Homo-oligomer: A and B are copies of this chain.
Amino acid sequence: MKTTESLARFVSEYDTRRIPDAVRHQAIRSLVNWAGCALGGARHPAVENALAAFRPFIGPAQASILGRPERVDALHAALFNGISSHVLDFDDTHLATLVHPSGPVLSALLAFAQYHPIDGKTFVDAIVFGIEVECRVAMGVGPAHYDAGWHVTGTAGGFGAAAAVGRALKLDAKLMAWAFGIVATQAAGLREMFGTMCKSLHPGRAAQSGLSAVLLARAGFTSSSRAIEAPRGFAHVLSSDPQLADATSGLGEQWQTLANSFKPYACGVVIHPIIDGCLALSSAQAYAPDEIEQVALQVHPLVLELTGKTQPLTGLEGKFSVFHSAAIALLKGSSTAWNYSDQAVRDPAVIALRERVTAQPQAGMREDEARITIRLKNGQTIAHHVEHALGSLERPMSDSDLSGKFKDLARDIWPAGQMEEALALCWRADTLADAGEIGNRLAAP
């Protein structure tokens, strides 16, 4: 099994004319979604604090931090955009692996494109290679990897970032394999960090590590050529049950990019069907919130494992609380990124309702399914069953949904006209003479 070489050859040698239009369009959708998330997260304390920590060490002004005025060296831009694009927990998800592909891929690629000009067609193709490889590496370590405590976006992310930049740079297969080796030996990220700023450090570091790896390999910095599959390599060391065949089977024919999904709500994807249900119940307006006696959720078992925080104290912790998410959706009748501010989590009305929410894991339920039952103080019960959450592969967000999400997240950065222009530029990324223009336009004035 020559996994590393197969993935390297795919990135270096695959004929881009074979990439279906739908795949390329999905890559652009990933760009729009990623950019919106990075703009929305640009002023988050995680980004502010990381920037304060590293400011004295930053190199030449080569690339943008999206939604901010500072220009920094490309490696730091990759880091900061990786953090900001994930910090709202609003970025894309490859549902089969729970990897968030675009943070590492696009944070590295756009930073690189601002340093080293590449055309829009090359840029969009590179996104495809990045997302494909990142998802494939995540599939290759199998579910045992995430189960053991690895945050797969941190560990597989660097491969995606390296694939995207390596393709843009036309790295040959030997150097591409080295770049994967350099990434493999820096792959990291623990699930213990969920609920802290370190969670969003993972895609940031993955982006920086993937970009670094390509630069190192190109400069002749040697690595193993079988870093993924070797007995003491990435897959066997970081997984008790690797599924290496899944990393390459059908590569270039079955597109993981098409299996990439976008979140309508700024929290763990397992909570989404519950929010859908709460919004449906709220919009029916059959009762006032203070009439609610109890909210009983029936959910997939992973919901409590991943998002079981009963008493979140910060916005970040709120994203890992199905109880907060349900309560605020019921109260506000909407679910935007601003539902996960520190202020929202500490709102006494939200806390009062949150304490009435219970959740019961239900064997046999799908991850994008939920049942919500509200018992009112008068004894009446109202129930709602969600078959497939919005944002699932069965019910994807439309292009217009994605534009709306971008606009909501970017609302405070530019005047409306400029924002529309920035958004339009993303949608026509593949036609640009210089893809770095996206980075220039998405910086704050």
Contacts and interface: CB of A to CB of B under 8 A. Distances in A.
B59 A192 contact: no
Interface string A191-217: 111001110011001000000100110
> Which of A59, A62, A218, A231 has most chain B Cβ within 10 Å?
A59
Interface stretch (A47-55, A257-265, A429-437): A47-55
B223 A205 contact: no
Interface in A178-195: 181-182, 184-193
Interface in A300-325: none
Nearest to A186: B188
A93 to B, nearest CB: 19
Contact of A188 (B58, B185, B201): B185
Interface residues of A, number: 60
Contacts of A327: none
A69 interface: no
Contact of A53 (B115, B205, B216, B224): B216
A227 B236 CA distance: 23
A31 interface: no
A74 B54 CA distance: 10
Contacts of A191: 232
A415 to B, nearest CB: 32
A103 interface: no
Given A219-B52, A237-B150, A192 B185 contact: yes
A10 interface: no
A60 interface: yes
Contact of A56 (B58, B115, B198, B234): B115
A224 B197 CA distance: 9
Interface string A13-56: 00000000000000000000000000000000110011011101
Contacts of A190: 184-185, 227, 232-234, 237
Contacts of A186: 188-189, 201, 205
A317 to B, nearest CB: 10
A104 interface: no
Chain copies in complex: 2
A379 interface: no
Contact of A219 (B53, B218, B232): B53
A418 interface: no
A156 to B, nearest CB: 13
B219 A198 contact: no
Contact of A198 (B53, B59, B74, B224): B224
A82 interface: no
A10 to B, nearest CB: 21
Interface string A374-396: 00000000000000000000000
Contact of A201 (B50, B60, B185, B236): B185
> Which of A54, A56, A57, A220 has most chain B Cβ within 10 Å?
A57
Contacts of A444: none
A149 interface: yes
Contacts of A192: 181, 184-185, 224, 226-227, 230-234, 237
Contacts of A226: 192
Nearest to A158: B188
Contacts of A53: 212, 215-216, 218-219, 221
15 contacts: A49-B216, A50-B219, A52-B219, A56-B59, A56-B60, A56-B115, A149-B236, A149-B237, A182-B198, A185-B190, A185-B193, A190-B234, A192-B231, A192-B237, A193-B223
Given A46-B221, A192-B230, 5 more contacts: A181-B193, A182-B201, A193-B223, A193-B227, A197-B222
Closest 10 CB pairs of A and B: A149-B232, A53-B219, A149-B237, A53-B215, A192-B233, A57-B73, A191-B232, A192-B232, A49-B221, A188-B188
